[in-house]
Structure 1
Amino acid sequence: MSLSILVTGGAGYLGSTLVPVLLDRGFDVTVVDNFFYKQSSLNQLCKNPNFSIVNGDVRIKETIKPLIKKTDIVIPLAAYVGAPLCKKDPIGASSVNKDSIFMLLELLSPNQSILMPTTNSAYGSGDENNFCTEESPLRPISQYAIEKVEVEQRLMEFSNFISFRLATVFGMSPRMRMDLLVNDFCYRAVNDKFIVLFESHFKRNYIHVADVAKAFTHGIDNFETMRGNVFNVGLSSANLSKLELCEEIKKQIPDFVITEAKVGKDPDQRNYIVSNEKIEKTGYIPDVTLRDGISELIKGYQMIKNNQYSNI
C-alpha cells in the first residue's frame, strides 16, 4: 500500500520541486495551497492519478482536519519565508508560520509522521568561531527565525518527527524565487553586471532546492533511524561569505563587478559556518554543487527578465 503524503504550500518554490519527486516515487500526494502568487507550477502533474490538489488556507481547521485523517506523512511547506516578507505582514506570517503548525500537531495522531522544514538562520552568529552544529545555542533574531525555533520546540513534544534546519536554498524551480541570496546575486550578475555588498564578510551555508527535496525523501526512507532528531541540511563545501559567493559567480560571469560598502545591515544578522556532518552520517549527500547551481541560474535568467517571481 502506497504512503499518503500531505504537502502544504506544495505549489511554492520548494514544493513544486518536491511534489513531482514524491509522485515519481509512487506516493499518493495531496497538496494544499492558496495560490497566493497565482502560480501554475503544478500544472504538469494533474494527469497523475496519485496527485490531488486543494485550493485552500492552511490556517482553516475545517480545511485541514479531513485531509490529516487520511494521510500518513505531513510535510508543512506553507510559510511566509524570510525576514523581509514577515516584516511586511507580521500577523499573517505568525498565523501561517507558527499557529497553523501548532494546529497541525494537535490534529496528528501518534502513528502519523511529520517532516518539518526549519532554518539554520536560527543560529544567528553561532559561537565565538561562528561554528554551528545541531547542539549549538539558538540565537534567532528575525521574526521568521524566532517562530521557526518555537515550532521546532513544540515539534519535539511529538515523537514522530524529523526537523530539517535548511541552509539558504538556491536553484531554478517551477515557482521561482529571486529574493534568495544566491538566486538574487546571480540575477544581478546576469542583468546588472554589478553588485554593492554590505556585511560582505558574513558567512552562511547554501543548498540546492533539488537537494532539499532529496533530504525529505531521504527522511522518508530512513524515518525509523532519523525520527526524533534535528538535522542541518546544507552543502558542506559551501560555507561562504557574501564576497566569496560573488567571487564564485564571477568565475562564470567575468565582467561582474563587485563593490563592498560600509553601510547596510542584514535583517536577521546570520553569520555562521554550519556543520552538516550529522545528516551526512545517515547517508545523505547533496548532488548539486554551488558551481553547477550558479551555471543553472545563469541559463534560467536568459528566460526570466523581471521581478514577478520575488516573494516580496
Structure 2
Amino acid sequence: MQLFVNDLTVIDFSYCCAERGIVGESWIVDVLLEGSLNEMSMVLDFAVVKKQIKAIIDDAVDHKLLLPMQNDTVSVEVSSHRAGHELVNFSAKQGSYYLQSPSCAFAKIDIKQIDIAAVKNYLTDIILSHLPKNVQGLTLNLRPENIEGAYYHYTHGLKLHDGNCQRIAHGHRSKIHIYKNGQRSAALEAAWSSRWQDIYLASEADRMASSEIELSATAMTNLTPDHQLFSYFAPQGRFDIAVPSNILDVVDCDSTVELLADFIVRQLKQQAPNDEFKVVAFEGVAKGAIANG
C-alpha cells in the first residue's frame, strides 16, 4: 500500500558549489510512503506525515548552508572563538567565502557535490530512521518551482529573526514581478534577476571591521581587500561572513522580503522618478511581499 503527500513543504537553503559559489535554493518536497497497514488501517496518519516528516526535513536542511564534505573546496573546523560554533572555509570559482556560525546552521553531507539526488538520499536515510516498522519504503521528490520568466538565487541572513532565518547563509530561489505604470516589465525583471543571480545580500548595518571579525586562521591569512565583512549576534549565537565583492550586493536595510521589495522600488524610482512602480518580490515559493512607489 502506498500513501502520498504532494507539496509537503518547501526547503529554503543555500549550498556550496565550486562553480557558482554559495547558491540560494528552494525545493518543493513530495513524499511517497510504502508499507503495510497499521492498527488504524493506515500506512501512516496524514497528521504524522505533515508534522513529523516535515519537522525532520526542516531540522536536517531547511534554512541551512549545505556543505559537500568530500569536496576539497570546503573545510570545516570547530571555532576557536565560541563554544558550539564552527568555522567554514570555502573556495569557489568566483572567490573565497569564510564563515562562522553556530553548528546548527550547517548541514555537513558526505558527498562531493550538492544536487537533488544527493540531498534526496541524505534525507531519505534520516527520515526512514524515524518511521514506524510498518513503513518499509520512502520516495522523496525534490523539485524547483516551475517559473516562467525571471528569477534569481540569493543568500542572506536576518539577525532580528527569532527562528532559523537568522542564519547568515541560507537562501532562496525566487521569481520577481515588476510593474511600470501598470504594465508588467519583462526587461526590468530580467535586469534584477541578472543583478541578483547567485548573489549574497548583506545589510550595511552589519558591516564589521577586520579587527572585530571572527573567522578561521586560514581566513585571516587569506582575506583580500576585495572581501567585505559582516557579522551580527542573534538568538542562536554569533554569525560572521566574509564575501567577495563580485558576488555581493549591500543594501541599506535589513534583507527581509518586505524591505527588499521596497529597496527595488526605491532603486527604480531613482532611475525614473516620474514613473510608478509595483514590485512583487517572492521569498522562495508562494510567499513574498508587494511594494509600491
TM-score, reference length from structure 2: 0.29
Q: Which has the larger radius of gyration?
A: 2
- Give 1 or 2: higher helix fraction: 1
How high is the TM-score relative to the length of structure 1? 0.28
Name whichever structure is richer in strand by fraction: 2
